[in-house]
Amino acid sequence: MRIPGGVIAVAAGVLASGAAYLTVLLPGSTPAWPSWGVAGGICLLLYGLLDLGARQEGRTPPHARWIFAGVSAWVALGFAGILAHTPADLDTPLVGGLPLPAAWMIYLLGVGPALLLPLAWIFLFRSTTLPEDALERLEEARRRVEAAAGGGESDARPARSPSPGRHDGTEG
């Protein structure tokens, strides 16, 4: 079975974060790179999990993938900006009432993704998230499973390979 790109990104994120944490746990002084490793790991995990979550019929819609890449890059830019910042002092310019590094964090990391992901979800909802006929297809599939299991009533629950999640307590 082909491994989805999202799983590869999640694995890369786990590796980056894991390596960073292992370095921190080793005896001796901690170098600077583990912070960058965790920051990169977070972005890869976000991208990978979003990419997996948007999969439909075995593939991720390309425009959704581009949006996730953009959001992850935005978050990466936010982390990079504050990781690379010099300490604020009275000469540091205020942006929106906050010193530039803090403003970068609040407005770029805080506000940007908060708008991008929900708006993308809204605009892609019908086309790639929950198509109009999704519920009808599910209902038809449920009836087929029920019929295959020999169920009688149309509103009865499927009985084949009963799942542990049923109210009737039967087991899978």
Partner 1 sequence: MIPLLRAVQASELPSAASPLVIVVGAVYFAVVIAIAVWAGRRTRTTEDFFLAGKGIGLFALTMAAMASTFSGFTFIGGPGLLYAMGLGAIFFVLPASVTNGFTVWVVAKRLRLLTEVRPVFSIPGVIGLRYGSRAAQGWAGAAVLAGIVGYMATNVLALGLVLDALFGVGLGWGIWIGTGVVFLYSASGGIIAGIYTDVFQGTLMAFASVLVFFYALDSGGGLASISTTILVADPEFMSPWGYFTPIAALSLYLLFSIGVVGQPHVMHKFFMIRDPHRLKWYPLLVTIAMAFVILLMFGVGLAYKALVVTGQAPAPNPTDNTAPLFLLRHTPRLLAAIVFSGIAAAMMSTVDAFLNVGAAAITHDIPTALGRPVTDELAAGRVATVVLAVISGVVAQTSGTLVALLGIAGYGLLASALVPALAVGLNWPGATRAAAVASIVTGLATSVLLGLLTWGASPLLTIPEGVAASALTLILSLAVFLVVSSLTRGGTFAELDEDVRLALEI
Q: Which of residues 60-89 bind partner 1 (CB under 8 A)?
A: 71, 75, 79, 82-83, 85, 87-89
49: contact with partner 1 by CB under 8 A: yes
C-alpha dihedral (71, 73, 78, 84), degrees to nearest 10: 170
9: contact with partner 1 by CB under 8 A: no
3-state helix, strand, coil in the chain (%, to 5): 65, 5, 35
Tell which one of 73, 119, 127, 154 touches partner 1 (CB under 8 A): 119
153: contact with partner 1 by CB under 8 A: no
127: contact with partner 1 by CB under 8 A: no
Tell which one of 77, 80, 102, 151 touches partner 1 (CB under 8 A): 102
The encoded tokens of residue 76 equal 């990466």
Buried b / exposed e across 21-36, counting CB within 10 Å, b at 16+? eeeeeeeeeeeeebeb
156: contact with partner 1 by CB under 8 A: no
Rounded to whole angstroms, what are the CA distances from 82 to 9, 70, 78, 87, 112? 24, 19, 7, 10, 15
CB of 171 to partner 1, least distance (A): 6
CB of 153 to partner 1, least distance (A): 15
E strand or H helix at 146: helix 134-148
The encoded tokens of residue 111 equal 């506000």
CB of 77 or CB of 117, closer to partner 1: 117
147: contact with partner 1 by CB under 8 A: no
**How many residues sit in the footprint of partner 1 (CB under 8 A)?**
94
